[in-house]
Amino acid sequence: MNFIRKIVLDLNLFLKGLAEECPDITKEDLNQLDNITNKILNRLKEND
């Protein structure tokens, strides 16, 4: 599961990097991305 967590976190960072190039992305959008990432990580933790 640690491998999957790493992929989820790397994907989060990748998407944030892409968001810097898109002026339409707001802070709220980035917060939603973090919320989704945290939900996925919590679900993975529950399934351990």
Residue 35: other Cβ atoms inside 10 A = 10
What pLDDT shows up at residue 48? 80
Q: Domain boundaries in the chain? A: 2-46
Which pLDDT tens digit goes with each residue over 1-48? 799 999 999 999 999 999 999 999 999 999 999 999 999 999 999 988
pTM for the structure as a whole:
0.84
What pLDDT shows up at residue 17? 94
Which pLDDT tens digit goes with each residue over 11-24? 999 999 999 999 99
What pLDDT shows up at residue 47? 87
